[in-house]
Each structure stands twice: as structure tokens, then as C-alpha cells.
Structure 1
Amino acid sequence: DMHQLLLAAHAQATQLIEILNSALSVDEVGTVAARVRGTCDNCRTRPHAAGNTALPAPTHTAPRRDTTDSTEDKLDDGIESDAERLNELANAELEHYDILKAVEPDAEQA
């Protein structure tokens, strides 16, 4: 009876190790693609429309007050311009990114 319990525990431990190994293994190409898309690891496996590299628009915006203080307007303009710059940088990185250089830095010399 004890022998069967030990065998079952060993089988469960082996199965757990296999699951952990598969969860911890990372596909480098997929990781680079996820980084370029700007998605987290959980969103990395979701289908992504090709060519859609723009950052998502913010889903929450603060209501505007009717005041003469333009600080909020300046802040909103700054956030929008920062988002535009990030989109431009992401597109530029996609155009000029060479995965071979990232994976094998000495490959260009060969």
C-alpha cells in the first residue's frame, strides 16, 4: 500500500515538473514580438492583427472642468504627444529591427 502511494506521489511530482518546465520555456521570437507589440506575457498568446502597432488609446479619461486653468489641457496635450512619439518609435523599431542581431550579435560578421 505504501509502495503504491510513493509511486503515485512520484508520478504527480514528475507531471508537475513537466508542467512547470513547459510554463517556464520561452519562445524568443514570440517574446520579441510581444515586446514590440507592447503586450504583457498574459496577452502575448492572443491573436494580434498584423501591422497594428499603435498603442491602445486610454480607456479612462478624467472629466474636464470648465475653468480657465489650462494645466489640465497642457497635461492632456503632453500625454497625447508622448503617445504619438511612442507610436512613432514603435513603428521605427519594427522597420529597423533585426532579430538575428538580437539573438546572435556576431552573425553580421559572418
Structure 2
Amino acid sequence: MPSERGLSQPPGPEWETVCRVCGYDDGVEPFWETGRPNEGAICPCCGNEPSMSDVSVMGLRNLRGYWLGQGACWDSPSSRPKDWDILEQVKRIPAEWR
């Protein structure tokens, strides 16, 4: 369904708290609201700021590959949990964005 800007709305729930790039999810900060990016949100893990460019699976895979290739460093290291497990985190990426 086209939006008023003529762009297609991405699939997914009305309120997405999972980062489409790395799978980070605090369950509170939405990265997407009602099919639109929450442009004020920045993932503390991979540093991605949601935008309409995140509606392409290939684009997300490129961002994810770059982040992983650079060592999967946290953008905000103080937010990294002590027991962080990258494999568990990337499992949270919704299937439609893998």
C-alpha cells in the first residue's frame, strides 16, 4: 500500500523493536512505528538508524555484512550486556529481513 510519499510500506508489525540489521531488541525503543522508520532511534549495537532504505532485504544484508565484517563492534559499548551472544541476537532478526 503506497504512503503519501509514494513509497511502499514495509511488511511487519505496527511496532518493531527489533533492529533489522543486527537483531538487537530492548523491547522498548521502536525502530519502526506504523510502517514508518523511527528516525530518532539509533541501534546501540550496530549503529543503524532506521530509514526507508531499510525496506530492501539486500540493503539490510549489505549493512549486516559490513557490520559483521568489521567485527560486530557495538556502537555504544556501554550498552553491551556482559553475557552478550551475537548468535542469539541475530536469531531475533525477523525472517522477512534475513
Same fold, TM exceeding 0.5? Answer: no
Q: TM-score, normalised by structure 1?
A: 0.25
Q: TM-score, normalised by structure 2?
A: 0.27
Q: Which has the larger radius of gyration?
A: 1
More strand by share: 2
Instruction: Pick 1 or 2: higher relative contact order, CA cutoff 8 A, min separation 6.
Output: 2
More helix by share: 1
